[in-house]
Copies of this chain bind each other. A is one copy, B any other.
Amino acid sequence: MSEFKEVTVTKAASVYFDGKVTSRKVTFNDGSFKTLGIMMPGEYKFGTNEEELMEITAGECEILLAGATEWQNISGGQSFGVPANSSFEVRAKTLIDYCCTYIS
């Protein structure tokens, strides 16, 4: 899906890691929401509350899930899941355009 229709989008961005990671929230009619975000090249660790589906829309990164020992290569067009109340690390080798779906 290249666009999201009949949604509400927040005007202000959420800013993390001194602005190297930014995102905006997109809320659907059923109350579910996603964030559309950008990561500049760099290394980041994120915590989760809900379960998340992270889709890498564009870019190249490596990710490490909590408890895992091997980094996985993820390229634009690929996704990975993260359990609730967990964490994951990202090594963004390029600019990353992502879409995160929160699963409650």
A residues with CB within 8 A of B: 1-13, 15, 18-19, 22, 24, 26, 36, 38, 40, 57-58, 95, 97, 99
Query: How many copies of this chain does one complex carry?
Result: 2
A9 partner residues in chain B, CB cutoff 8 A: 3-4, 7, 9, 26, 36
Given A1-B11, A8-B7, A12-B58: A19 in contact with B36 (beta carbons within 8 A): no
In the bound assembly, the distance between CA atoms of A19 and B58 in angstroms comes to 12
Contact between B40 and A19, CB atoms less than 8 A apart: yes
Q: Within 8 Å CB of A18, what residues of B?
A: 95
**Is there contact, CB below 8 Å, between A97 and B15?**
yes
User: Which residue of the partner chain B has the closest CB to A57?
Assistant: B12
